[in-house]
Amino acid sequence: MTAATPSRLPLRVTAAMYFRLFALQGSWNYETLLGTGIGFVMEPALRLLPGGIKGEAYRSALARESRYFNAHPYLAGVAVGALTRAELDGVDPVRIERFRTALAGPLGSVGDRLVWASWLPFCSLVAIGVYGAGGSALAVVGTFLLLYNAGHFLLRAWGLRIGLSRGLNVASALGNPVLRQGPDYIGRAAALMGGVALPLALQRIAGPGRALAGGIIGAALIGILLLARLRERAEGWRIALGVLAVFVLYSVLT
Protein backbone atom coordinates (compact mmCIF):
# COMPACT_ATOMS: atom_id res chain seq x y z
CA MET A 1 0.00 0.00 0.00
CA THR A 2 1.32 3.44 -0.87
CA ALA A 3 -0.29 6.30 0.97
CA ALA A 4 -0.74 9.68 -0.70
CA THR A 5 0.67 11.62 2.26
CA PRO A 6 3.16 14.50 2.46
CA SER A 7 6.78 13.57 3.13
CA ARG A 8 7.05 16.47 5.61
CA LEU A 9 4.32 17.02 8.15
CA PRO A 10 2.57 20.43 8.32
CA LEU A 11 3.95 22.52 11.18
CA ARG A 12 0.60 22.61 13.01
CA VAL A 13 0.52 18.78 13.05
CA THR A 14 4.08 18.51 14.37
CA ALA A 15 3.31 21.17 16.98
CA ALA A 16 0.14 19.32 18.06
CA MET A 17 2.13 16.08 18.40
CA TYR A 18 4.86 17.82 20.38
CA PHE A 19 2.31 19.36 22.75
CA ARG A 20 0.49 16.03 23.15
CA LEU A 21 3.83 14.37 24.01
CA PHE A 22 3.66 16.16 27.37
CA ALA A 23 0.35 14.38 28.08
CA LEU A 24 1.64 11.04 26.78
CA GLN A 25 1.09 9.23 30.08
CA GLY A 26 -2.44 10.53 30.73
CA SER A 27 -3.96 7.06 30.40
CA TRP A 28 -0.95 5.05 31.68
CA ASN A 29 -2.20 1.72 33.02
CA TYR A 30 -0.92 -1.76 33.88
CA GLU A 31 -2.43 -3.32 30.72
CA THR A 32 -1.08 -1.27 27.83
CA LEU A 33 1.38 0.95 29.74
CA LEU A 34 2.15 3.83 27.32
CA GLY A 35 0.25 2.28 24.40
CA THR A 36 -2.90 4.38 24.42
CA GLY A 37 -0.75 7.47 24.96
CA ILE A 38 1.23 6.68 21.80
CA GLY A 39 -2.04 6.50 19.85
CA PHE A 40 -3.17 9.77 21.44
CA VAL A 41 0.03 11.58 20.40
CA MET A 42 0.10 10.17 16.85
CA GLU A 43 -3.57 10.85 16.20
CA PRO A 44 -3.22 14.34 14.61
CA ALA A 45 -0.75 12.96 12.05
CA LEU A 46 -2.82 9.86 11.28
CA ARG A 47 -5.62 12.17 10.08
CA LEU A 48 -3.41 12.76 7.02
CA LEU A 49 -3.89 9.13 5.92
CA PRO A 50 -6.13 8.58 2.88
CA GLY A 51 -9.79 9.02 3.81
CA GLY A 52 -9.06 11.13 6.92
CA ILE A 53 -10.62 10.17 10.24
CA LYS A 54 -13.44 8.26 8.53
CA GLY A 55 -11.00 6.19 6.49
CA GLU A 56 -10.04 2.57 7.07
CA ALA A 57 -6.32 3.44 7.03
CA TYR A 58 -6.78 5.90 9.90
CA ARG A 59 -8.81 3.47 12.02
CA SER A 60 -6.43 0.55 11.47
CA ALA A 61 -3.38 2.68 12.26
CA LEU A 62 -4.96 4.20 15.37
CA ALA A 63 -5.95 0.77 16.68
CA ARG A 64 -2.47 -0.63 15.97
CA GLU A 65 -0.63 2.26 17.60
CA SER A 66 -2.82 2.25 20.75
CA ARG A 67 -1.76 -1.27 21.76
CA TYR A 68 0.82 -2.15 24.42
CA PHE A 69 3.99 -0.08 24.33
CA ASN A 70 6.62 0.94 26.82
CA ALA A 71 9.40 3.52 26.71
CA HIS A 72 10.80 6.36 28.72
CA PRO A 73 8.25 9.19 28.36
CA TYR A 74 10.83 11.76 27.25
CA LEU A 75 12.26 9.46 24.57
CA ALA A 76 8.89 8.12 23.44
CA GLY A 77 8.96 10.91 20.83
CA VAL A 78 11.53 8.83 18.93
CA ALA A 79 9.00 6.00 18.64
CA VAL A 80 6.10 8.37 17.95
CA GLY A 81 8.01 10.06 15.13
CA ALA A 82 9.30 6.84 13.60
CA LEU A 83 5.93 5.09 13.78
CA THR A 84 4.17 8.13 12.32
CA ARG A 85 6.59 8.15 9.40
CA ALA A 86 6.07 4.42 8.88
CA GLU A 87 2.28 4.69 8.98
CA LEU A 88 2.23 7.64 6.57
CA ASP A 89 4.65 5.86 4.23
CA GLY A 90 2.34 2.85 4.16
CA VAL A 91 4.82 0.37 5.64
CA ASP A 92 3.52 -3.20 6.08
CA PRO A 93 1.65 -3.45 9.45
CA VAL A 94 3.54 -6.64 10.34
CA ARG A 95 6.82 -4.78 9.99
CA ILE A 96 5.46 -1.91 12.10
CA GLU A 97 4.45 -4.36 14.86
CA ARG A 98 7.95 -5.91 14.84
CA PHE A 99 9.52 -2.46 14.97
CA ARG A 100 7.35 -1.43 17.93
CA THR A 101 8.38 -4.53 19.86
CA ALA A 102 12.06 -4.03 19.10
CA LEU A 103 12.14 -0.32 19.97
CA ALA A 104 10.34 -0.42 23.33
CA GLY A 105 13.15 -1.94 25.44
CA PRO A 106 16.04 0.33 24.36
CA LEU A 107 13.95 3.50 24.63
CA GLY A 108 13.05 2.55 28.18
CA SER A 109 16.51 1.68 29.43
CA VAL A 110 18.37 4.51 27.66
CA GLY A 111 15.85 7.08 28.91
CA ASP A 112 15.82 5.76 32.47
CA ARG A 113 19.60 5.94 32.62
CA LEU A 114 19.90 9.36 31.04
CA VAL A 115 16.97 11.16 32.70
CA TRP A 116 15.85 9.47 35.92
CA ALA A 117 19.26 8.19 37.00
CA SER A 118 21.41 11.13 35.82
CA TRP A 119 19.81 14.38 34.72
CA LEU A 120 17.12 14.56 37.42
CA PRO A 121 19.44 13.87 40.41
CA PHE A 122 22.04 16.23 38.93
CA CYS A 123 19.53 19.08 38.62
CA SER A 124 18.22 18.33 42.12
CA LEU A 125 21.72 18.54 43.55
CA VAL A 126 22.44 21.82 41.73
CA ALA A 127 19.25 23.30 43.22
CA ILE A 128 20.14 21.93 46.66
CA GLY A 129 23.57 23.56 46.19
CA VAL A 130 21.98 26.92 45.37
CA TYR A 131 19.97 26.59 48.58
CA GLY A 132 23.09 25.70 50.57
CA ALA A 133 24.88 28.73 49.15
CA GLY A 134 22.16 30.94 50.61
CA GLY A 135 19.93 31.25 47.53
CA SER A 136 16.40 32.59 47.83
CA ALA A 137 13.29 30.51 47.14
CA LEU A 138 13.02 32.07 43.69
CA ALA A 139 16.68 31.38 42.87
CA VAL A 140 16.48 27.74 43.96
CA VAL A 141 13.19 26.94 42.21
CA GLY A 142 14.13 28.98 39.12
CA THR A 143 17.51 27.26 38.80
CA PHE A 144 15.98 23.81 39.08
CA LEU A 145 13.09 24.36 36.67
CA LEU A 146 15.15 26.17 34.01
CA LEU A 147 18.03 23.73 34.10
CA TYR A 148 15.93 20.57 34.22
CA ASN A 149 13.43 21.63 31.60
CA ALA A 150 16.08 22.86 29.18
CA GLY A 151 17.14 19.22 28.93
CA HIS A 152 13.58 17.89 29.12
CA PHE A 153 12.05 20.05 26.38
CA LEU A 154 15.05 19.61 24.07
CA LEU A 155 15.07 15.82 24.52
CA ARG A 156 11.38 15.52 23.62
CA ALA A 157 11.83 17.79 20.58
CA TRP A 158 14.95 15.93 19.42
CA GLY A 159 13.21 12.56 19.77
CA LEU A 160 10.21 13.60 17.70
CA ARG A 161 12.36 15.25 15.03
CA ILE A 162 14.76 12.33 14.69
CA GLY A 163 11.89 9.84 14.60
CA LEU A 164 9.98 11.74 11.94
CA SER A 165 13.05 12.22 9.77
CA ARG A 166 14.50 8.70 9.99
CA GLY A 167 11.39 6.55 10.23
CA LEU A 168 12.17 2.87 10.79
CA ASN A 169 15.91 3.59 10.49
CA VAL A 170 15.86 5.45 13.77
CA ALA A 171 17.67 2.76 15.79
CA SER A 172 21.08 4.21 14.91
CA ALA A 173 20.06 7.47 16.63
CA LEU A 174 20.13 5.63 19.95
CA GLY A 175 23.90 5.36 19.47
CA ASN A 176 24.13 9.15 19.88
CA PRO A 177 27.09 9.94 22.21
CA VAL A 178 24.85 12.01 24.50
CA LEU A 179 22.63 8.99 25.08
CA ARG A 180 25.50 6.50 25.41
CA GLN A 181 28.11 8.44 27.39
CA GLY A 182 26.00 11.25 28.81
CA PRO A 183 24.88 9.36 31.93
CA ASP A 184 28.50 8.69 32.98
CA TYR A 185 29.56 12.33 32.59
CA ILE A 186 26.41 13.63 34.27
CA GLY A 187 26.86 11.05 37.05
CA ARG A 188 30.37 12.28 37.80
CA ALA A 189 29.19 15.90 37.77
CA ALA A 190 26.34 14.93 40.11
CA ALA A 191 28.74 13.19 42.53
CA LEU A 192 31.00 16.26 42.57
CA MET A 193 27.97 18.48 43.08
CA GLY A 194 26.66 16.17 45.82
CA GLY A 195 29.92 16.45 47.76
CA VAL A 196 29.59 20.24 47.86
CA ALA A 197 25.82 20.74 47.88
CA LEU A 198 24.65 18.23 50.50
CA PRO A 199 26.80 19.43 53.43
CA LEU A 200 26.20 23.08 52.48
CA ALA A 201 22.42 22.57 52.47
CA LEU A 202 22.47 20.47 55.65
CA GLN A 203 24.39 23.27 57.36
CA ARG A 204 21.71 25.77 56.39
CA ILE A 205 18.92 23.42 57.53
CA ALA A 206 20.68 22.88 60.89
CA GLY A 207 20.39 26.63 61.37
CA PRO A 208 22.68 29.54 62.22
CA GLY A 209 25.19 28.90 64.97
CA ARG A 210 24.74 25.14 64.67
CA ALA A 211 27.47 24.09 62.27
CA LEU A 212 27.49 20.41 61.42
CA ALA A 213 28.91 18.99 64.63
CA GLY A 214 31.10 15.89 64.82
CA GLY A 215 28.22 13.79 66.14
CA ILE A 216 25.97 14.65 63.21
CA ILE A 217 28.70 14.03 60.61
CA GLY A 218 29.68 10.75 62.28
CA ALA A 219 26.10 9.47 62.50
CA ALA A 220 25.43 10.48 58.90
CA LEU A 221 28.58 8.75 57.59
CA ILE A 222 27.80 5.51 59.46
CA GLY A 223 24.23 5.59 58.18
CA ILE A 224 25.32 6.23 54.58
CA LEU A 225 27.80 3.33 54.73
CA LEU A 226 25.13 0.98 56.08
CA LEU A 227 22.58 2.08 53.47
CA ALA A 228 25.18 1.84 50.68
CA ARG A 229 25.96 -1.76 51.68
CA LEU A 230 22.26 -2.66 51.58
CA ARG A 231 21.79 -0.90 48.19
CA GLU A 232 18.74 -2.44 46.43
CA ARG A 233 17.61 -4.35 49.55
CA ALA A 234 16.61 -1.27 51.51
CA GLU A 235 14.55 1.78 50.66
CA GLY A 236 16.02 4.79 52.40
CA TRP A 237 12.79 6.76 52.48
CA ARG A 238 10.98 3.92 54.29
CA ILE A 239 13.76 3.75 56.88
CA ALA A 240 13.51 7.55 57.24
CA LEU A 241 9.77 7.24 57.79
CA GLY A 242 10.25 4.59 60.49
CA VAL A 243 13.02 6.44 62.33
CA LEU A 244 11.10 9.70 62.20
CA ALA A 245 7.91 8.06 63.51
CA VAL A 246 9.83 6.64 66.48
CA PHE A 247 11.48 10.02 67.17
CA VAL A 248 8.18 11.90 67.00
CA LEU A 249 6.56 9.36 69.32
CA TYR A 250 9.49 9.66 71.76
CA SER A 251 9.33 13.48 71.67
CA VAL A 252 5.60 13.51 72.31
CA LEU A 253 5.74 11.03 75.19
CA THR A 254 8.69 12.63 77.04
Q: Is residue 165 at the binding interface for other proteins, with CB under 8 A as the rule? A: no
Q: Which stretch binds other proteins (CB under 8 A): 7-15, 79-87, 133-141, 157-165?
A: 133-141
Closest alpha carbon to 17 in 166, 164, 171, 167: 164
Q: Is residue 178 at the binding interface for other proteins, with CB under 8 A as the rule? A: no
Helices 93-111, 76-88: axis angle to 10 degrees equals 170
Q: Is residue 154 at the binding interface for other proteins, with CB under 8 A as the rule? A: no
Options 60, 106, 157, 165; binder of other proteins; rule CB under 8 A: 60
Q: Is residue 48 at the binding interface for other proteins, with CB under 8 A as the rule? A: no
| CB of 169 vs other proteins, minimal distance in Å | 26
Instruction: Give the x-and-dash track for 193-222 against other proteins (CB under 8 A).
Output: xxxxxxxxxx--xxx--x-xx-xx--xx--
Q: If residue 134 lies in a helix (H) or strand (E), which one and from where to where? A: none
Burial of 174: CB neighbours in 10 Å, binned 0-12, 13-18, 19+:
middle
Burial of 157: CB neighbours in 10 Å, binned 0-12, 13-18, 19+:
middle
Q: Which residue, 27 or 165, is less far from other proteins as judged by CB?
A: 27
Q: Which stretch binds other proteins (CB under 8 A): 4-12, 18-26, 90-98, 167-175?
A: 18-26
Whether the Cβ atoms of residue 191 and residue 119 lie closer than 8 Å to each other: no
Exposure of 183 in the CB half-sphere (CA atoms within 13 A): 13
Q: Which residue, 21 or 82, is less far from other proteins as judged by CB?
A: 21
